[in-house]
């Protein structure tokens, strides 16, 4: 029997054992759907706006036009398309006074978790998850991400904004209403920091962006899932999760703040197509996705934003937790082939 392969991430010092021979077929992971215990009242559904704090951003439907607004303590708007609200139990809380805005990090090993933690309700329709969303509504979601990113990243104490989505109870979604989260924090998190450092090294050594380079290389590899004018979706070479995939913009940019309308539409389409393929292939599995960005001017040339999707199909146990090395039983080449097949079917 041939050996399994040891593969290193494009940038991170992270190794994965890819089980090439005894690899499992992606469909082995399809689970019997169990109906989640539904809360009797969904605080994110229209009509229950009073159950959540005032929205910091609303897209309101005004005779077919989208108007942006906010709630006040007295007024909760109805008739919204997108509703972004502060998390009731924020991991990072806004500064209580102006003096707290600076010097949040007190030493190399201690800081205050000052920032923002928001929930972006993606649709008034409870079930409008990206895999089955109407495209114009998914464009609204992307615009919501970008509007909040612009606002949060301008704050003096914010060094990073994490935009992520938990889908399904096992992936950490406590409410099943379609929603994403944003966490603005006073430091650049380790994974992104390492990606930025390594991409800066690559730029220094090769005179080009490592992500632009890998998009070009992977577009010709068996790990390509789909490819259009503005985006590519690939199963990364050293995928940690079975059926993991990344969506990368072809235009070099460190963050999505300057996406054109055409690029936003293309991003929505790419996101929907790939997440629908994942849903169809393995029966709507739990997953997390997150966007990696940089808002720091120094990494404008080297860093290239992207969205990473981590299906939750395997359980990380003793070896993974003990070593930071992962075992993936679905080679990314198989993952890409199955996702491609599902898309064209």
Residues contributing to the site for Zn ion (CB under 5 A): 42, 44-45, 126, 177, 209, 211-212, 252, 292, 304
Q: Which is nearer to Zn ion, 200 or 212 (CB)?
A: 212
CB of 234 to Zn ion, least distance (A): 12
Pairing of strands 15-18, 224-227: unpaired
CB of 327 to Zn ion, least distance (A): 21
Catalytic site residue 129? Answer: no
Q: Where does residue 153 rank: exposed (0-12), middle (13-18), buried (19+ CB within 10 A)? A: middle
Nearer to Zn ion, 114 or 214 (CB): 214
Identify which of residues 114 and 182 has a Cβ nearer to Zn ion in the complex.
182
Q: For residues 155 and 252, which CB has a smaller minimum distance to Zn ion in the complex?
A: 252
d(C-alpha 281, C-alpha 338), whole Å: 8
Q: What is the DSSP string of 191-240?
A: HHHHHHHHHHHHHHHHSS-HHHHHHHHHTTSTTEEEE-SSEEEE--TT-S
Instruction: Classify strands 326-328 and 15-18 as parallel, antiparallel or unpaired.
Output: parallel
Both tokens of 306, joined, read 């992207």
Smallest distance from the beta carbon of 160 to Zn ion, in angstroms? 13
Number of residues that make up the chain? 345
- In whole angstroms, what is the distance from residue 335 CA to residue 164 CA? 22
Q: Which of 179, 230, 292, 304 is catalytic?
A: 179
CB of 137 to Zn ion, least distance (A): 15
Check the CA dihedral 59-60-61-65 and report its sign: negative
Known catalytic residues? 179
């Amino acid at each position: 029997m041939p050996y399994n392969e040891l593969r290193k991430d494009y940038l991170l010092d992270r190794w994965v054992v890819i089980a090439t021979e005894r690899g499992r077929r992606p469909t082995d992971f399809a689970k019997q759907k169990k109906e989640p215990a539904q809360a009797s009242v969904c605080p994110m559904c229209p009509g229950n706006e009073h159950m959540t704090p005032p929205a910091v951003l609303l897209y309101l439907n005004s005779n077919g036009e989208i108007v942006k607004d906010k709630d006040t303590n007295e007024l909760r708007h109805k008739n919204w398309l997108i509703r972004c609200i502060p998390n009731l139990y924020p991991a990072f809380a806004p500064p209580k006074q102006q003096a707290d805005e600076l010097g949040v990090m007190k030493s190399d090993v201690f800081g205050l978790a000052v920032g923002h933690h928001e929930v972006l309700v993606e649709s008034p329709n409870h079930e409008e998850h990206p895999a089955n969303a109407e495209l114009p509504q998914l464009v609204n979601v992307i615009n919501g991400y970008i509007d909040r990113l612009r606002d949060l990243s301008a704050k003096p104490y914010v060094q990073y904004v994490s935009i992520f989505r938990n889908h399904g109870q096992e992936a950490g979604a406590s409410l099943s209403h379609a929603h994403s989260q944003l966490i603005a924090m006073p430091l650049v998190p380790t994974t992104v920091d390492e990606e930025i450092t390594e991409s800066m090294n690559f730029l220094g050594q090769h005179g080009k962006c490592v992500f632009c380079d890998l998009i070009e290389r992977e577009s010709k590899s068996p790990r390509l899932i789909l490819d259009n004018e503005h985006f590519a979706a690939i199963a990364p070479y050293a995928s940690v999760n079975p059926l993991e995939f990344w969506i990368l913009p072809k235009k070099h940019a460190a963050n999505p703040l300057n996406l054109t309308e055409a690029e936003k539409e293309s991003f929505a389409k790419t996101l929907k197509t790939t997440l629908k393929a994942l849903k169809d292939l393995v029966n709507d599995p739990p997953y997390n996705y997150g966007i990696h960005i940089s808002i720091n001017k120094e990494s404008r040339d080297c860093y290239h934003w992207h969205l990473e999707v981590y299906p939750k199909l395997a359980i990380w146990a003793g070896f993974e937790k003990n070593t930071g090395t992962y075992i993936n039983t679905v080679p990314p080449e198989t993952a890409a082939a199955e996702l491609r097949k599902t898309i064209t079917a």
